[in-house]
């Protein structure tokens, strides 16, 4: 039976097409995607501001059920609920050979360069399908990928428990950062976001306090005026980095996690970095954190987030909802909303 899939043809041009289902190769599995997260990257691809392969199937935050396994596949069976680690690496470049595959010269993301999950059927190598505990709601399962990215961010920040953290931005990533910060024993966990609903989401996820960015001084007062030893930019903007550095304590560590515009700039005083002995770290995607994210997933109370679901044919509405931020997280439900909710 033909299946429906959402393919990207160019800026502003996403088409729903039908295709004949492909069979999995010997070491591949076919998955019925049940919930596929819509993230900023998808919006940027469709807007033409993030490079993607022409005619690629979108969707990189995928949770689905296995419907067919290749003859050489071990350890996965039809009916298993899985999350996909959506990257392919060249395995031969210097970075790949140093265990830094996420910095690979020829990294290819599913849903960006390779066909992703916004389809009724997705075929992937079995080694990138990670089994989830039975009974995991598929939309929670689809959070594994963004959670794995947050986990890599936390690894890069390498915070010390018992000390404060300030998180700029309480979108889906910022909200998951809050949950991770709590799990790592950071206190207080303080969030800045201009939107009421996002501050509310941060508080639901366990933030101790959430302020409008205009109230930065009130936030800093929670550290007795010392500043924050840990600061996360979960927005991605030069002006946020400037504020993050300004509000760091001496010896502070600043994580650049949000995706800034490539041409955005920040004014940084080298003397600040030197005299206050600051550390600036970046984090991109999810090297070796997908496995750990699967294990953390049931412990973080991610069901406190408020999801919104759209069918494959409603992708434009889903992208608009993602951009507007009207739900905590937006999902495509290729096999219906009930199947995505679980
Ligand atoms: Zn994403
Ligand atoms: Zn490589």
92: domain CATH number is: 3.90.180.10
182: domain CATH number is: 3.40.50.720
Task: Check whether residue 92 and residue 164 sit in a common domain.
Answer: no
Minimum-distance ligand to the CA of 171?
Answer: 1
Asked whether residue 11 carries a pLDDT value surpassing 90, the answer given is: yes
How many angstroms from the chain centroid is the CA of residue 275?
Answer: 34
One-character DSSP codes across 32-54:
EEEEEEE-HHHHHHHHTSS---T
Task: Check whether residue 217 and residue 92 sit in a common domain.
Answer: no
Task: Report the candidate in 21, 56, 61 with the shortest Cα–Cα distance to residue 333.
Answer: 61
Asked whether residue 70 carries a pLDDT value surpassing 90, the answer given is: yes
Phi, psi of 176 (to 5 degrees): -70, -35
Task: Check whether residue 155 and residue 138 sit in a common domain.
Answer: no
How many angstroms does the Cα of residue 41 sit away from the middle of ligand 1? Answer: 6
In a domain, 118, yes or no: yes
Task: Check whether residue 138 and residue 15 sit in a common domain.
Answer: yes
Beta bridge partners of 166: 190, 231
The burial of 304, by beta-carbon neighbours within 10 Å (0-12 exposed, 13-18 middle, 19 or more buried), is given as middle
In a domain, 232, yes or no: yes
How many angstroms does the Cα of residue 272 sit away from the middle of ligand 1? Answer: 33
In a domain, 300, yes or no: no
Confidence tier at 326 by pLDDT (50, 70, 90): confident
Which pLDDT does position 28 carry in this prediction?
98
| pLDDT, average across residues 229-233 | 98
One-character DSSP codes across 94-162:
HHHHTT-GGG-TT-EEBTTTB--SSBS-EEEEGGGEEE--TT--HHHHTTHHHHHHHHHHHHHH-PPTT
Minimum-distance ligand to the CA of 90?
Answer: 2
Sign of CA dihedral 165, 169, 170, 176: negative
Phi-psi region of 304 (alpha: psi -120 to 50; beta: other; left: phi over 0): alpha
Q: Which helix (H) or strand (E) holds 81?
A: strand 81-84
- In the predicted model, what is the mean pLDDT of the chain? 97
Asked whether residue 341 carries a pLDDT value surpassing 90, the answer given is: yes
Distance CA(125)–CA(180), nearest Å, equals: 29
- How many residues are given for the chain? 342
**Number of domains the chain contains:** 2
Give, as one character, the DSSP assignment of residue 69. Answer: E
Task: Check whether residue 169 and residue 254 sit in a common domain.
Answer: yes
Q: What angle do CA 148, 151, 155 make, to 5 degrees?
A: 140
Distance CA(50)–CA(10), nearest Å, equals: 11
How many angstroms from the chain centroid is the CA of residue 317?
Answer: 20
Chain segment 265-277, per-residue pLDDT in tens: 999 999 999 999 9
In a domain, 291, yes or no: no
Minimum-distance ligand to the CA of 107?
Answer: 2
* Residues within 5 A (CB) of ion ligand 1: 39, 41
Task: Check whether residue 91 and residue 200 sit in a common domain.
Answer: no
Task: Check whether residue 123 and residue 159 sit in a common domain.
Answer: no
Asked whether residue 208 carries a pLDDT value surpassing 90, the answer given is: yes
Chain segment 274-311, per-residue pLDDT in tens: 999 999 999 999 999 999 999 999 999 999 999 999 99
Which pLDDT does position 51 carry in this prediction?
92
Task: Report the candidate in 270, 210, 268 with the shortest Cα–Cα distance to residue 242.
Answer: 268
Which pLDDT does position 165 carry in this prediction?
98
- Which residues, at least 6 apart from 35, have a Cβ–Cβ distance to it below 8 Å? 62, 63, 64, 137, 138, 139, 141, 142, 309, 331, 332, 333, 339, 340
Task: Check whether residue 130 and residue 48 sit in a common domain.
Answer: yes
Which pLDDT does position 139 carry in this prediction?
98
How many angstroms does the Cα of residue 76 sit away from the middle of ligand 1? Answer: 25
In a domain, 298, yes or no: no
Strand order, beta sheet including 3-10:
13-19, 3-10, 56-57
Task: Check whether residue 136 and residue 156 sit in a common domain.
Answer: no
Confidence tier at 150 by pLDDT (50, 70, 90): very high
Which pLDDT does position 1 carry in this prediction?
82
Give me the domain span that covers residue 242.
150-282
Task: Check whether residue 83 and residue 206 sit in a common domain.
Answer: no
Give, as one character, the DSSP assignment of residue 285. Answer: S
Question: Hey, what are 76's tokens?
Answer: 């996965």
Task: Check whether residue 157 and residue 128 sit in a common domain.
Answer: no
How many angstroms does the Cα of residue 285 sit away from the middle of ligand 2? Answer: 15
Asked whether residue 203 carries a pLDDT value surpassing 90, the answer given is: yes
| pLDDT, average across residues 186-210 | 97
Minimum-distance ligand to the CA of 84?
Answer: 1
| pLDDT, average across residues 38-48 | 94
How many angstroms does the Cα of residue 102 sit away from the middle of ligand 2? Answer: 8
Task: Check whether residue 191 and residue 267 sit in a common domain.
Answer: yes
**Which active-site residues does the annotation give?**
41, 44
299, 301, 307, 311 alpha-carbon torsion, rounded to 10°: 20
In a domain, 222, yes or no: yes
How many angstroms does the Cα of residue 273 sit away from the middle of ligand 1? Answer: 31
Chain segment 100-120, per-residue pLDDT in tens: 999 999 999 999 999 999 999
């Amino acid at each position: 039976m033909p299946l429906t899939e959402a393919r990207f043809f160019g800026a502003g041009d996403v088409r729903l097409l039908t295709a004949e289902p492909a069979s999995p190769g010997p070491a591949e599995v076919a998955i019925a995607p049940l919930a596929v997260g819509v993230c900023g990257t998808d919006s940027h691809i469709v807007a033409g501001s993030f490079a993607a392969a022409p005619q690629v199937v979108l969707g990189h935050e995928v949770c689905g059920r296995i419907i067919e396994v290749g003859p050489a596949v071990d350890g996965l069976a039809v009916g298993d609920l899985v999350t996909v680690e959506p990257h392919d690496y060249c395995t031969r470049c210097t970075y790949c050979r140093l265990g830094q595959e996420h910095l690979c010269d020829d990294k290819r993301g599913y849903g960006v360069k390779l066909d992703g999950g916004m389809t009724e059927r997705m075929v992937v190598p079995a080694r990138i399908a990670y089994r989830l505990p039975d009974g995991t709601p598929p939309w929670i399962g689809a959070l594994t990928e963004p959670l794995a990215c947050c986990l890599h961010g936390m690894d890069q920040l390498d915070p010390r428990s018992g000390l404060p953290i300030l998180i700029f931005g309480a979108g889906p990533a910022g909200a998951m950062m809050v949950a991770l910060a709590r799990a790592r024993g950071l206190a207080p966990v303080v969030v800045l976001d201009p939107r009421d609903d996002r501050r509310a989401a941060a508080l639901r996820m366990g933030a101790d306090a959430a302020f409008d960015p205009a109230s930065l001084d009130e936030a800093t007062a929670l550290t007795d005026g010392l500043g924050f030893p840990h600061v996360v930019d979960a927005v991605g903007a030069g002006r946020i980095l400037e504020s993050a550095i300004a509000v760091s304590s001496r010896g502070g560590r600043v994580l650049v996690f949000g995706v800034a515009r490539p041409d955005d700039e920040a004014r940084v005083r080298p003397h600040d970095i030197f005299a206050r002995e600051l550390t600036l770290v970046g984090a991109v995607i999810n090297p070796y954190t997908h496995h750990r994210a699967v294990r953390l997933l049931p412990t973080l109370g991610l069901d406190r987030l408020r999801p919104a679901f759209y069918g494959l044919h409603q992708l434009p509405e889903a992208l608009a909802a993602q951009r507007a931020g009207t739900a905590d997280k937006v999902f495509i439900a290729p096999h219906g909303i009930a199947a995505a909710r679980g």
